[in-house]
Structure 1
Amino acid sequence: MTRNTTSAGFTLIEIVVVIIVLAILAVIALPKFINLGQDAEIASVQATGAAFKGGITLANVKWASLGASGPVDNMPVFGDGSNGQLDINQWGFPSQSYPPFESSPRLNNVADCMSVWRTVMQEPPVVTSNPNTDGAEYFATYISPDQCRYFYLPEQTMSIYYDSRNGSVITDSDPNS
């Protein structure tokens, strides 16, 4: 008696077809997964810009609610003590955060830019004036007159712009610009 046995397995052609289909799927799907990191960075910059804008707006509203109509020095805006005080410029927007008296505070250097950043946001991302600082997420620059730009260090084509003359905050989160 002879026994008929058939082996169940894949032919070489079937295996090659499966590999080709998997390769096509990988080519289509991989770019979408690669962009997830960049999408997260864009979302982070947009959220930080929105928080910064909210802080600027809140300071301006507080200035207006106190009936101010010009520069105000050491105005308590956030919390208690000198940590939450802001110097408000002649247009009613934050210009710096320093305890000494100044009759007409202006945003006029990178230190002022960093002091506004640190004061208007609760637990802000670390900002620096040196892009090589360990642990910093943003690099502050001063633009004359009365303007700042905060570059996102992991992707320096993304930034947050602040103009203390009109309170505008613009988030540039397009890494391809």
Structure 2
Amino acid sequence: MKLAKQQGFTLIELVVVIIVLGILAVTALPKFLNVSQDAQISSVKATGGAFKSGINLAHTVWATRVGAGPAENLPTFGNAEAGEMDFNDAGWPAQHYYTDNEASPQLDHVEDCISVWETLFEGDEPSISKFDSSDETDYKANYISPNQCRYNFTDNQNLSIYYDSRNGQVSVDSDPNS
């Protein structure tokens, strides 16, 4: 009876393969880790674009229906009360949550920032809460004096959307390391 010669890998060959796989893993792993961060950045940029479009659309409604000066409870998005918006002298959305009948509506509290967000997005998505709230929401609103809001992305506080109601400026800070 003739024995068949067994063939297999030597210890050196196995070590070389393990080293090569280790090198590949070390070079590829950082690329896979950045996928989550890239998705967050894309999400904030898309939400910021939608927010800016909503601000510009509201300003256009104000220009068409009012044209000059402040406006309160102007039906902007639909006919329901939830679609009403307050505008400052320049015609930019400036909800005032706590008071009514201001001479010129302006953002002066975090609740005003939340009200602008919820009116523009007509509901609960993307969700928002106060900056110091423990609520599980997509964004956290922060009032910046005067008449400015910052909406920080909850999963990465370095990603945010900024709104200035004095001139309608909307910008997105999408640098995750800032």
By the TM > 0.5 criterion, same fold?
yes
Normalising by structure 2, report the TM-score: 0.92
| Letter aligned with residue 137 of structure 1 | D
1:117 counterpart residue number: 117
Tell me, yes or no, if the aligned pair for 1:97 and 1:112 is still in contact at 8 Å: yes
Tell me, yes or no, if the aligned pair for 1:97 and 1:119 is still in contact at 8 Å: no
Instruction: Report the Cα offset of residue 48 of structure 1.
Output: 1.0
CA offsets, 1:17-74, max 9 Å, x none? 1111110110011001111111111111111111111110000011112242110111
2:149 counterpart residue number: 148
1:104 counterpart residue number: 104
Range with greater deviation from structure 2 (96-105 or 19-28): 96-105
2:134 counterpart residue number: 133
Tell me, yes or no, if the aligned pair for 1:85 and 1:97 is still in contact at 8 Å: no
Instruction: Report the Cα offset of residue 100 of structure 1.
Output: 4.1
Alignment of 1:7-18 (within 5 A): 7-18=6-17
| Letter aligned with residue 105 of structure 2 | P
Judged with a 3 Å threshold, the aligned counterparts in structure 2 of structure 1 residues 96 and 57 are, in CA distance, closer, same or farther, namely same
Tell me, yes or no, if the aligned pair for 1:74 and 1:97 is still in contact at 8 Å: no
| Letter aligned with residue 155 of structure 2 | P
Alignment of 1:1-177 (within 5 A): 3=2, 5-96=4-95, 100-123=100-123, 124-177=125-178
Instruction: Report the Cα offset of residue 97 of structure 1.
Output: 5.9
Tell me, yes or no, if the aligned pair for 1:89 and 1:104 is still in contact at 8 Å: yes
User: Which residues of structure 2 form unaligned runs of 5+?
Assistant: none
Distance 1:139 1:164 in 2: 18
User: Which residues of structure 1 form unaligned runs of 5+?
Assistant: none
Tell me, yes or no, if the aligned pair for 1:148 and 1:163 is still in contact at 8 Å: yes
SS in 2 for 1:166: coil
CA offsets, 1:84-107, max 9 Å, x none? 000011011000065944442111
| Letter aligned with residue 142 of structure 2 | T
Range with greater deviation from structure 2 (129-138 or 157-166): 129-138
Aligned residue pairs total: 176
Tell me, yes or no, if the aligned pair for 2:129 and 2:135 is still in contact at 8 Å: no
| Letter aligned with residue 118 of structure 2 | R
Tell me, yes or no, if the aligned pair for 1:108 and 1:145 is still in contact at 8 Å: yes
| Letter aligned with residue 118 of structure 1 | E
Range with greater deviation from structure 2 (91-100 or 50-59): 91-100
Percent identity between the aligned chains?
A: 53
Instruction: Report the Cα offset of residue 155 of structure 1.
Output: 0.9
Distance 1:79 1:97 in 2: 19
Distance 2:28 2:8 in 1: 29
